[in-house]
Amino acid sequence: MSARDSGILLKAEGVHKRFGDHVVLAGADLEVPRGSVVTVLGRSGTGKSVFLKCLAGILTPEAGSMRFDGAALDQGDAAARAEFRRRCGYLFQSNALFDSLTALENVVLPLEQTTDLPDKEIQERGMEALRQLDLEAHRDRHPAELSGGMQKRLALARAIVTRPELVLFDEPTAGLDPLRRNAVFTMIAKYQRQFSFTAVIVTHDVAEALVASDSVALLDGGRMRFQGAPAAFSASDDPVVKGFRDSAAALSETLHALRRGENIESDES
């Protein structure tokens, strides 16, 4: 059965990535059903962003295979990789907007770089993307003149201007307070439904991910310790899953014990 027949848009198997002697990924797998929101969870420094960059082709893994819409994404197949990039959008953790460019110029950049569309159509599609994300009135403003939320929407407009089937989100809520984290996940959910793209998100925000995702995966030790429905993640008895998922509850218990005067051994090495 092909990936298209089975409903799997993107599939990664056995992805390995190392930097010198430091092994980051040691056989990570992931299945991304078409039209879904899949979130990869994990502690800071576990390689979530590295894994996402391997999926996107920004980094080259030492081993492993990937298939997109049933077609193998071999490193040496330039045509398949170009087709994948054309059908995939990427939202960087820092937004990666160009300060010297206006909002419209930032948005149309992927079209200028990856298509042969005439200038008039590029501008029209750029304005359409800004309009869809309520940024049309700010077309001539530079990123520094926009609020943090508007910058995030601008980065999303740029990610979807090519009308991708898959959008990859690298830590979209990093450094945000709880209300803004909720707003970002709401934005992703809203526009994922509006534009019918498939989304892969890497984050360490457990509560928001469980609400916003169709499927969650936990990256630990360079491999996916879990992938499945949010309800199954919440009910899992796997000790690694529980340790990550229930860390806030464990902290609360530890603090209560300290307040009662109990001695608590530190896990810090």
pLDDT digits (tens, 9 = 90+) for 117-144: 999 999 999 999 999 888 999 999 999 9
Task: Spell out the alpha helix ranges (H) of 115-199.
Answer: 119-132, 148-160, 178-195
Residues 182-217: pLDDT tens digits?
888 888 888 898 889 999 999 988 888 899 999 999
Burial call 217-233: b when 16+ CB within 10 Å, e when fewer? bbbbebebbbbeebeeb
Task: Tell me if 152 is assigned to some domain.
Answer: no
Residue 15: domain span: 3-87+164-255
φ and ψ at residue 241, rounded to 5 degrees: -60, -45
pLDDT computed for residue 145 by the predictor: 96
User: Looking at the domain assignment, is residue 19 inside a domain?
Assistant: yes
Strand partners, 39: 201, 216
Among 9, 46, 41, 7, CA closest to 230: 41
Does 120 reside within a domain? no
Pairwise CA distance, residues 114 & 125, whole Å = 14
Number of domains in the chain: 1
Predicted local distance difference test score (pLDDT) of residue 267: 53
Q: What pLDDT is attached to residue 251?
A: 45
For residue 94, which phi and psi values (nearest 5 degrees)? -90, 10
- State the pLDDT at residue 74: 80
Q: Name the residue among 236, 177, 167 with its Cα closest to residue 205.
A: 177
- Give residue 139's pLDDT: 95
**What is the CA 102 to chain-centroid distance, rounded?**
25
Percentages helix, strand, coil for the chain (3-state, rounded to 5) are: 45, 25, 35
CATH at 239:
3.40.50.300
Residue 95 gets the label, from left (phi > 0), alpha (psi -120 to 50) or beta, of left
pLDDT at 6: 63
Position 219 in a domain: yes
User: What is the reported pLDDT for 265?
Assistant: 59
pLDDT at 217: 97
Q: Has residue 58 been placed in a domain?
A: yes
CB-based contacts of 212, cutoff 8 Å, min separation 6: 37, 39, 185, 186, 188, 189, 201
Q: Give the span between the Cα atoms of 114 and 178, in whole angstroms.
A: 36
pLDDT of residue 101: 95
**Would 269 be classed as within a structural domain?**
no
The pTM assigned to this predicted structure is 0.82
| Sites in the chain below the pLDDT cut of 70 | 1-6, 247-269
C-alpha 139/C-alpha 105 separation (Å) is: 8
In a domain, 16, yes or no: yes
Q: What is the pLDDT at residue 2?
A: 46
Asked if residue 169 belongs to a domain, the reply is yes
Element containing residue 216 per DSSP (H, E): strand 215-220
